[in-house]
Structure 1
């Protein structure tokens, strides 16, 4: 049985106008800015949320960019659904790592439109091979099937990272053999992002 992912309640604020207090959810402002936030483990629920927002924003303005903000440890099963949705958009999907992008979330970060993939200075990207979800159960012959599925996912991840980063597939496979933690400039050097955004104070100097 799969354990449910931990979800925090979104922060809420109060706006006062004409003496009347109204609750505000900052997430309500994201669609107006054409931002999709992946700020949780990449499970089926998070994938469905992201895809629904992509579809809505694409329909609202088919030629305007959508920005995917990534701060996620990734997840074992839902990456390809979000990836394929990003690749079929009529508009560009820009990506921004605002905290960490680990495992399959790093693939989504790299899958943004060329020239529109960014990271903040303090971002961390972890290249990690995929894992199976939860403990293994079933008949004695099932571990072989699980092993084949795991190898298939690893090869799929390596192929997508090679495609989006421009690195040789064998080099990507070697990187996935162990955890590889990259800072923002390292992610840029590995072709996962195109640019590290400067802090506002530095940009104004």
Structure 2
């Protein structure tokens, strides 16, 4: 916009100069016409006065030609300024279109990436829901709550039933093994314990959890 205003100022100034040149040419033509009539009507054209008048007419005609050439050059300059600015504006529009297309492509790419991330997060959440259940396999170590403390044990047997909604720790989660079967209870063998302490544990009791580094800690308070 600033460049367009600058161009407009230059063109306006040049057009003012053209108008001034027109006025000077017209005034000079009128004077030449009047002086020429006077010179033509003179009987003694060799007098000093007529010689000076003839010289003045010649100078005025010469000035008219110079001003006419100046008008032509100034007009060409105006046209060149306008043409250059139009080309520059065309280039600016092309660059603007390229920027808009790049921004649009970037926005579409970011939108697609965000959608992919959302789908990936959803898949990750689904995997996380199932991942903790892989510990419900025979010979896997688990932790069992007994008398207010958590003890390490090993799963020796597993009871399953066809998949479906079922109660369990975590507020009604499904407990599936690697085969997709719903685990209802497990038979555990306590590490370092007596054989008669081994027992079946129903998952709905909340007394069993995946192994952790914090053994013999009291279970969390019920919510």
Same fold by TM-score, threshold 0.5 exceeded? no
TM-score (norm 2): 0.19
Q: Report the structure, 1 or 2, having the larger helix content.
A: 2
Higher relative contact order (CA 8 A, sep 6+): 1
TM-score (norm 1): 0.21
